[in-house]
Structure 1
Amino acid sequence: MDKLSQRRITDARTLRAVAHPLRISIVEQLTVHGPMTATELGDRLDESPANCSWHLRKLAEYGFVEEAAGGTGRQRPWQITHLGMSWGDEEDGPIALDVQLAGRAMTEVVVGRELDRLLESQVRAPEEPAEWRKAATASQSMVWLTAEELEAANLAVREVLMKHFDRHQDPALRPAGSRLCALVGWGVPTYGLADETPADEAIPAGEEG
């Protein structure tokens, strides 16, 4: 099995094409379960095969999925082309406004889905064994950081989040008793809560204009 790479999206059209709840659900299902037909996806997502087929073709148009071996018509299986995706960084230079807006829409869809998962986990917590109730948690903090420290913190969190990502593609790497878990993290400046003037730019006491 060829190892799939993560896809970094840098154009607005591609971001808008995938920023749709059902399309993201389809990509998730294919990531977790492997190649599936439109009919199988419809059964899992409570959607019609025709609707799943239409969205699969759109995802294929933008390179997110491709036909897998075997089957014909709606019974042909589809598979993902990349394992995970990223967007919204400035690695290739300043981000154009249309890409910023499309990236914001994509982030809203993804974060909304993860919030739903968090709330569902809280509702279902009483059903879980004690070790899973103890393991599942949510953390939040606000601290004073420089831009460099914030970047370092985000990179450290990303390293933790991606540490076992290869277990998606290779089930043999999954230890006994493991379950699919959602890990979410972000570090951003706050607005409107504290003085947003960086400390080194603040006017010293007694030198007001």
Structure 2
Amino acid sequence: MGGTQRTSRRGRPRSEAVRGRVLGAAAELALEGGPGAATVEAIAKRAEVSRTTIYRWWPSAAAIVLEGLLESVRESIVRPTGSTTVQALVHHVGALFAILADPATGPLLRNAIAASASDPAIERALLEQWIGPRREAVATTLRAAVRAGELPADTDVRVAVDALVSPPYYRLMFGMAPLDDAAIAALVHTVWRGCRTDQEGGGS
């Protein structure tokens, strides 16, 4: 996952067809050969687009890979239709654990996280194209619960998001087994009850 970065991305709006080919190619290359295989040159060749087109629309190969990876698991950050707040949170946390436990995506993300410490392009891509959207999906669910009166108005949504999404990454980086379904449900309910401490009742 190269760190070469271009900051200027002016020009025509991205074609969705071209975008789909580029993101698909990037995700495939990274999953097949690791982050190092997803160079701009390799992505351009597989997607059958020019390097100029890629650099016009993306700042780095890392940004393409992580956006493509997120696109490939987009349903994991979509709230299930008809779900309660707690069910939606269990979905988000459980899906993240499953993705990070996958033998292809887990190592890819672990490598990206490790590389981000010394590569600003990868750090930016990781935050903008992977971590940010996943955190926002959980935050949106929690803010909806606040508006509905399920959680107190002064709920610190950022802290609750940290409590919910940090365990999967912690376990990934330290080589620990992911939580099972029962433990994921227990984690979500623990955070949920903590957020409701100023209200009577609890659970869902």
TM-score, normalised via structure 1 length: 0.30
Which has more helix, going by share of residues? 2
Which has more strand, going by share of residues? 1
- Structure of larger gyration radius: 1
